[in-house]
Structure 1
Amino acid sequence: MHMIITIGSWALIILLFLQPGIAHKGAVEGMRIFTTALLPYLLPYLVITQMFIRSQKTFLNTTNKFKLYMNIYILTALGGFPSGAAIISSLKEIGTLNERNASWLLAICHAPSPMFVIGFVGIEIFNAEIAGLKLLIIIHLVNLAFLLVFIIFSKPIQMNDYVKKASISPFQESIRETSQILLLIGTTVIFFTTVSIIVFESVKEVIPSISPFVLVLIASFFEMTGGISLAGEILSGTTILPFVVAIIIAFSGLSIHMQIIVLAQKAGIPIKHYILFRFLNMLILPIFFIL
């Protein structure tokens, strides 16, 4: 793994020196995506949810595992990723979830925000709001099926052994936590968008006749939003577009994965279940969506 990281780092350093203009273009595009598409929606939602989970008395304070896990799923579904992972990580840190429960919920409660799927994917990519709504429903039906299985076979509620003291100022703490989360999200989005564009342009120069489908996969591997945008441009009007977009959302991209992994590691949450479920979603979601 260290060898792969070393080789990849040197390759990117060389590409940055060889193509500074493209690197700048990628960074600017990453900034645009973060400031115009992510920040306006994520900031208020993260502040509100972080404040809510620090001041809640009954919504998440229960020994009824069905009620607790369903309430957590509702919170994560409304915000989408990576705010869902931020909520679960915070609940682990304040003691509502233990390591095992948080690991499973991190894997199951993984879905894009409703605004992104219905608005961006449905209207702008598919030119049909109903298509975005259909994809969103399928994503949540699959997740809820996994959640119900987890609830049925999970042990009774076991809180984290270490429970933080009650929050004195939920608003100030939520602002501080949100700023750290947004810094993480912004950094990863800009970085992986830059890397995506550098690799994308380099591949096109080396192999001019490369398939457009492969270019879409390359862009999507690093950053989901950019990959979906490119898929909408290159594959517009083709029958394969819905299948490709479903795969991209199921995989989510390295940018999203790094955001969630960093949040999970900060709270001491194992990520093995998260990785497993990403592969399962890539197999299940596209099939159900095109049926």
Structure 2
Amino acid sequence: MIWSLIALFILQPGIAHDGAETGVKLFVQALLPYLLPYIILTQWLLKLPVSEKSSPAWMRYIKAYTLGSFGGFPVGAVTVSEMKKNGQLSKYESSLLLAACHAPGPMFIVGYVGLELFGDSMSGWKLLFAIHAANIVFFLFVLLLMASRRTPDGERKHSSITNPSSAPLLDAFKESSTIIILVATTVVFFSSLGSVLTNVIQAAASVEMGIVKTFVLSIFEMTSGVQSAALHFYGAPIFPYLIAAILSINGLSIHMQVFVIARSAELSLKPYVIGRIWSVLAVPVFLYILL
């Protein structure tokens, strides 16, 4: 498969270049301005020394959801992994919360999807509410699972693998730069790959370009898929629900970001996969109820 992809990139360098250029523009214009400031602040907060007095479990869970679900992808994975490393969460808790603390940032949904794609900030707010309604239902289910298995404090302390930072802000900048590079790399690669495969499918089969391009780009890179859907389906009755589904699918670019971060903290990915399936099914339904 890899050799086939290498051959495609060699045979269609212009398409690959255009896809990579599109990925760079998406990252710089649609992701970096919304993602970087929040990641720095989140990392700064998580790098601050934690009190020796153990806080109630529900407060740690709410902290993980609040920080992780309102900063955009992949801030949820970063938050949960960092809390696991500093001993606030166990491996079991972190694996479950990885699935629940996963949502696009409000600035991206309201500012980019709402204003630029829907042309209405209120529609963006409704979509954001639908996403978090589905996430909160799943979060409550996760809380029930964790309540049935109380984690001893010793297990959380044993999971800690890092010492408190002596310079939290500097470490926050360092960690944030690593995450941003990961996001940029995956966005550019999967945007280029999606463009090449779209061109190949169009050449091999007589199919409608709008449908193929939107489907393929949505599988590989969420933001590219959303832009393609806006280009080819804007004004159609299905348009808002198609956007909701694409945002719930996330795309391989975001999944790869989460997988890399989760694996670095040795977290299980099974709850995350289940959470994404639930999100794809539930978010369009909640949005339909709101609209």
TM-score by length of 2: 0.91
Q: Is the 8 A contact 1:99 1:160 kept in 2?
A: no
Which sections of structure 2, spanning at least 5 residues, go unmatched?
A: none
Q: How does 1:1-291 map to 2 (within 5 A)?
A: 7=1, 9-57=2-50, 62-154=54-146, 155-158=149-152, 159-163=156-160, 164-210=162-208, 212-291=210-289
Q: Is the 8 A contact 2:100 2:142 kept in 1?
A: no
- 1:181-213 Cα deviation digits (max 9, x unpaired): 111111111100110111112222233433622
- 1:110-163 Cα deviation digits (max 9, x unpaired): 110001111211122222221111111111112112222322341345424142
Which sections of structure 1, spanning at least 5 residues, go unmatched?
A: 1-6
Q: Is the 8 A contact 1:223 1:253 kept in 2?
A: yes
Q: Is the 8 A contact 2:233 2:239 kept in 1?
A: yes
Give the distance between the partners of 2:285 and 2:21, measured in 1 at CA: 35
Q: State the AA in 2 paired with 1:187.
A: T
Query: Identity of paired residues, percent?
Result: 37
Give the distance between the partners of 2:168 and 2:11, measured in 1 at CA: 48
- 1:84-116 Cα deviation digits (max 9, x unpaired): 211111111222111111111110111100011
Aligned residues: 283
Q: Is the 8 A contact 1:118 1:129 kept in 2?
A: yes
Q: Is the 8 A contact 2:114 2:121 kept in 1?
A: yes
Q: State the AA in 2 paired with 1:66.
A: W
Q: State the AA in 2 paired with 1:37.
A: A
Q: State the AA in 2 paired with 1:24.
A: H
CA shift, 1:265, in A, is: 0.3
TM-score by length of 1: 0.91
Task: Give the stretch that moved more between structures: 251-260 or 111-120.
Answer: 111-120
Give the distance between the partners of 2:112 and 2:220, measured in 1 at CA: 19
Give the distance between the partners of 1:165 and 1:57, measured in 2 at CA: 10
Task: Give the stretch that moved more between structures: 222-231 or 159-168.
Answer: 159-168
